[in-house]
Structure 1
Amino acid sequence: MTVPPLPAADRRRLRRLLSSPSAVAGLALLAVVLAAALSAGWVFPADPLEMATEPLLWPGRDAAFPLGSDMLGRDILAGLFHGARASLLIAGVSTALAVVLGVAGGVTAGYFGGRADRLFGTLTTFFLTIPSFLFALAIVAVVQPSVWKIALAIGITSWPALGRLVRAEVLRLRHGDMVLASEAVGASHARIIIEDILPNTLTPVLVSASLMVATAILTESSLAFLGLADPNVASWGNMVGAGREVLRTDWYVCALPGLAIVLTVLALNLLGDGLATAFDPREGR
């Protein structure tokens, strides 16, 4: 079975993406984080929340625990690997939910207008009136924190900005020549949306999604720092929150997971910049 070649436009976008230093750096950093998340169960099969060595073992003192241990004797390196899995899972699920809600709402409001557009405007105004972090904080505080509930809370509060962006793109395309030509030949609304509207909103959705993943990681870490996280799951935010008790004497307990968060968010932002450049229509002229 032969794989069909990529269209010329997609090949140009891929070349522009791979020629962007920021995109390559972001992809490299993100690949390291993904590799850690995928291999966590194999490299560190034991429970990362169990005591593995003496408490507050500094990095470099024991080759078996190269990054040391926290105040409960838990292996920090194992926590970083398993924390990558939890943080990326929450960020991925919440971003996927936000993209589905934002694209569905933005396309419906921009394409059909009228009552749907007014309802969409009311909903987005309501959600944007309250800071998304405080909204997610309120939701998680009411329910029992778990990985899936935190992901749902972040996703539900993150879609309005993307929805408005998609709505603006759909309004621009709604009365364009491409859509008018499809209407002239009798194409259904579903076919116009799927074949003409959605492919042309891909660029802002991709760029926004990469940034939303970074924001979701920061939000999850902030919730965990405040104690609103699943206590049965190792995450970077939980590690930072637990380490604040010994910040003055054993700063590495906070600094190492904090550095992992910074590098991951940096990677996603660099990738977002590269995607914006690669999919910019002006670059293809």
Structure 2
Amino acid sequence: MTGTLTISAARPRPAGLVARLIRRPSAVVGLALLGLVAGAGLAAPVLYPGDPLDMIGAPLQWPGMDPAFPLGTDMLGRDIAAGITHGARISLMIGAVATLVALVIGVGIGAGAGYYGGRVEAALMRLTELFQTIPPFLFTLAIVAVLQPSIPTIVLAIGLTGWPGLARLVRAEVLRLRDGELVQASIVIGASDARIIGLHILPNVLAPVVVSASILVANAILTESSLAFLGLGDPNVVSWGGMVGAGREVIRTDWFVAAAPGLAIVAAVLALNLLGDGLNDALDLKRALR
């Protein structure tokens, strides 16, 4: 019973978590910004039902010149506001799915290494260290260049390069919990490894994983934007990074073409980082890692 209380104490209660979260200004600002970005993405098909890559206006109209184009148009006459709202959907989708891929790999490898130890841990940690020796962006760039730019390829590449840090974090947490009384009692009564890991270990690793996930989403958005800026984004969809890359050609005369999507990237990444900081405090991650 004592072991149960000791381990379960690390699990945050949903009601208490929300209460602590809304008391933190960084979390509130982050949630508000993220809500705006997500709302723009969800409303994109309603506000701009056409293809955002269509050339529908005169080129290089400044913001405010035409009410139909509140943020102006780019060099080809494409609506910048339509591109930003549709780009929000792409960026958030890529960030979320790539993070999910990294979570599956990182949590799986970290939990396996921490729980089984010995040769299994040594092999999995050497694999993790191998991935950590390769610069993540260069590795992502190489994968996308070889497999051809597309949303599935970009998601896979970002996910494959984002898991090593998470794996090490999960391994450290599992090592801390593996020798707890509840886990040892479960082993004695013959509970399977999958049951022990799934019911008694992973739920108590949730706090640091959630915080890390918010940072991974922000990194994924930055990586996708960087790839698109370099011309390695999916050419069939609008992307914030691609819009910035196209706008650099007229940055001296019509800076708003690159500035508007650039500010969208800043808002999304800032929102996720602020939310991560708020979650870090609300989940009391420092105490959980002791």
Give TM-score scaled by structure 1 length: 0.94
Tell me how large the CA RMSD over aligned residues is: 1.5
Q: Paired residue for 2:101?
A: 97
Q: Which runs of 5+ in 2 are unaligned?
A: 1-10
**2:5 corresponding residue in structure 1:** none
Q: Write the distance in 2 (CA, Å) between the matches of 1:26 and 1:152.
A: 27
Partner of 1:161: 165
Tell me how far apart the structure 2 counterparts of residues 281 and 102 of structure 1 sit (CA, whole Å).
19
Query: In structure 2, how many angstroms separate the alpha carbons of the residues matched to 1:281 and 1:219?
Result: 26
Equivalent residue in structure 1 for 2:29, among 18, 25, 30: 25
Counterpart position of 2:40: 36
Aligned partners of 2:208 and 2:285 also within 8 Å: no
Q: CA deviation at 1:114?
A: 1.9
Cα pair distance change 1:66/1:281, threshold 3 Å: closer
- Amino acid across the alignment from 2:232: L
Residue 13 in 1 paired to residue 17 in 2? yes
CA deviations on 1:91-111 (whole Å, 9 max, x unpaired) are 111000000100001001110
In structure 2, the residue matched to 1:3 is none
Q: Which residue of 2 aligns with 1:60?
A: 64
Q: Give the 5 Å matches for 1:1-285.
A: 9-280=13-284
The one-character-per-residue Cα deviations of 1:116-148 (angstroms, maximum 9, x if unpaired) are: 211211111111101101100111111110011
AA paired with 1:119? A
5+ unaligned residues in a row in structure 1: which ranges?
Answer: 1-6
Distance in 2 (CA, whole Å) between partners of 1:47 and 1:12 is 44
- SS of match in other structure, 1:187: coil
Identity over the aligned pairs, expressed in percent? 63
Give the conservation status (yes or no) of the 8 Å contact 2:12–2:283.
no
Q: Which amino acid aligns with 1:114?
A: G
- Partners of 1:59 and 1:52 lie apart in 2 by 15
Tell me how far apart the structure 2 counterparts of residues 19 and 42 of structure 1 sit (CA, whole Å): 34
Shift of 1:283: 7.4
For residues 187 and 218 of structure 1, the distance between their equivalents in structure 2, rounded to whole angstroms, comes to: 43
Maintained 8 Å contact 2:166/2:209: yes
Tell me, in whole angstroms, the C-alpha distance in 1 between the residues paired with 2:66 and 2:184: 69
Moved more, 224-233 or 178-187: 178-187
Deviation of 1:273 (Å): 0.7
The 3 A distance-change label for structure 1 pair 186 and 210 is same
| Distance in structure 2 (CA, Å) of the matches to 1:281 and 1:240 | 36
Shift of 1:181: 2.2
Kindly report structure 1 stretches of 4+ aligned residues shifted beyond 4 Å: 281-284
1:4 aligns with: none
For residue 169 of structure 1, what is the amino acid of its counterpart? Answer: E
Flag the 1:281–1:125 CA change in 2: closer, same or farther, 3 A: closer
Counterpart AA for 1:175: D
1:173-227 deviation per Cα after TM superposition (whole angstroms, max 9, x unaligned): 1111221122233222111111110001001100000000000000001111111
Aligned length: 278
- Mapped contact 1:277–1:283 kept (Cα < 8 A): no
Provide the rounded CA distance (Å) in 2 between the counterparts of 1:238 and 1:273. 29
1-structure distance, mates of 2:153, 2:91: 13
Separation in structure 2 between the aligned mates of residue 244 and residue 152 of structure 1, nearest angstrom: 28
Displacement of 1:21:
0.9
